[in-house]
Amino acid sequence: MRKHIFATLTALLLSCLFIAASSAQSQSPPPQAIVLHAARLLDIETGRIVAPGEVLIQGDHIAEVGPSVTHPAGAQTIDLGDTTLMPGLIDVHVHLFLHPGAEDLQTVEESVPQRTITATLAAKADLMAGFTAERDMGTEGAGSADTAVRNAIDQGLLLGPRLRISGNAISILGGHEDAINYNPAQHIFSNATYANNAAELVTAIRQELKEGADFIKIYETGRDSFRDGQFSTPYQYTEAELATAVQEAARQGKRVAVHATGEPGTLYAALAGVVTVDHADQLSAETMRLMRAKQIFAVPTFAISEYFADHAASPAGSARQHQSLDYHAQEFRKQLAEGVPMAVGSDVGPFPHGTQAREFVLMVKYGMAPLAVLQADMLNGAKVLGWQGQIGALKPGYFADIIAVPGNPLEDISLLQKVSFVMKGGVVYRK
């Protein structure tokens, strides 16, 4: 009886969220034409600041960009003052179904309906912070519930970024994200889908794609160890097993992303031809060479490491995690020097959604120029999501995914934490 009541209340709450979001959009449909005017506009491809900057939006796409654009009769002009217009931000590594707190416990104690509600709120928070496109890297035990969230956003029922979703991530028995250190008699489920060999990987991938996944997320390493300045992590799948996964996903036009922090798992992933190596704390010379040659993107996720280090359970734990972060920063500088392509992903979820622009600040702190980070985010991020030529730049024909920040982000990257205007698909969500 209690389960029935909870399910009914959950359904009612979700219905209210859908109706509220739909009503908010239906009350303010985008006019036929909008002209955005600001003191500056960032040409992300060249790095040039256009001053002043204007963008003409027709429907959900950009029609014209420059210091002065056509102002059609009846167009709405929005003057954003002393701000810089730029493409919407992209986060290629988020967890909409997670929130701050004990990750292992929240996935045990909270039902999938409850976690789905959490995901809808997280999606809205990210959009309002200027993130107009994201890649959800696994529901951590909520199965394909992210399919419903993505579809509801696409249908205008919920507020959120454009999403590429993976459903449940895939891992081995006893591997990363398995329910370890619990009473075995309780049969606590893994936060990932089990696949222990190539054949099981194929089966798991087919099931994920059947349930609506846009790409496949696989845990390739973990759990990590950092002792006496030495980083180590066991691999989970062989090169041949990962290659099978990549081939099966490719058969259906999809790609594989891996959680891979160090060797030899990172090398196996590069050899197999994944699209991204997420975290990438440790890459050998050969792995970096392959990633550069194959244009496989590293996604450092510094923000989550900093958050965990700053919120560790003890001073000793904090010191150890800060040492690990420092090690990653040193490795990151080596990767930059070797030309490893980068994309921007924060791993937000275990820290508050809507605050992940901190990742840009950290990537600059650890060695990238502000423009290089922005290009990694917008141009490379669009490629990672499979939306190149559609998002990631202010160009005619692209979706009107546009933000504004005060000042010049090429001079102060932290301004991305102060987004003052958000438009996605020609609809203004924050002004």
pLDDT at residue 29, as a whole number: 55
Closest CA to 140 of 166, 175, 101, 174: 166
With beta carbons less than 8 A apart as the criterion, state whether 128 and 357 touch: no
pLDDT for position 184 = 82
Helix %, strand %, coil % of the chain (to 5): 40, 20, 40
Helix ranges (DSSP H) in 296-357:
302-310, 315-337
Report the alpha-carbon distance of residue 132 to residue 197 in Å, rounded: 37
How does pLDDT run across 178-228, given as a tens digit for each residue?
Answer: 877 787 877 778 888 999 999 999 999 999 999 999 999 999 998 888 888
pLDDT in tens, 84-116: 999 999 999 999 999 999 888 888 899 999 999
Chain CA centroid to CA 195, Å: 24
| Cα–Cα distance measured from residue 2 to residue 9, given in angstroms and rounded to the nearest whole number | 11
User: For position 20, what pLDDT does the model report?
Assistant: 46
Q: How far is CA 283 from CA 142, 269, 335, 383, 412, in A?
A: 31, 11, 8, 22, 30
Pair 92, 118: CB distance under 8 Å:
no
Q: For a pLDDT cut of 70, what percent of the chain falls above it? A: 93
Q: Distance between CA atoms of 150 and 411, rounded to whole angstroms?
A: 35
CATH of 89-385, one of 1.10.10.10, 3.30.70.270, 3.20.20.140, 3.30.420.40: 3.20.20.140
In angstroms, rounded to a whole number, what is the distance separating the alpha carbons of residues 394 and 36? 12
Q: Is the pLDDT of residue 49 over 70?
A: yes
Q: Which pLDDT score is estimated for 302?
A: 98
pTM for the full predicted model: 0.93
What kind and span of H or E run contains 272?
A: helix 265-272
**Dist. CA 57–CA 47, nearest whole Å:** 22
- Predicted local confidence at residue 107, as pLDDT: 84
Angle between helices 239-251 and 265-272 (to 10 degrees): 40
Q: What is the pLDDT of residue 24?
A: 43
Question: pLDDT tens for residues 292-323?
Answer: 999 999 999 999 999 999 999 999 999 999 99
Burial string for 359-373 (b: 16+ CB within 10 Å, else e) reads: bbbbbbebbbebbeb
Q: How far apart are CA 310 and CA 266, in angstroms?
A: 27
Q: Quick one: angle between helices 239-251 and 198-210, nearest 10?
A: 30
Residue 176 has pLDDT above 90, yes or no: no
Rounded to an integer, what distance in angstroms lies between the CA atom of residue 307 and that of residue 128?
A: 21
For 31-87+393-430, CATH gives 2.30.40.10
When pLDDT is cut at 50, 70 and 90, the band that residue 32 belongs to is confident
CA–CA gap between residue 193 and residue 210 (Å, rounded): 14
Q: Per-domain residue ranges for the chain? A: 1-29, 31-87+393-430, 89-385
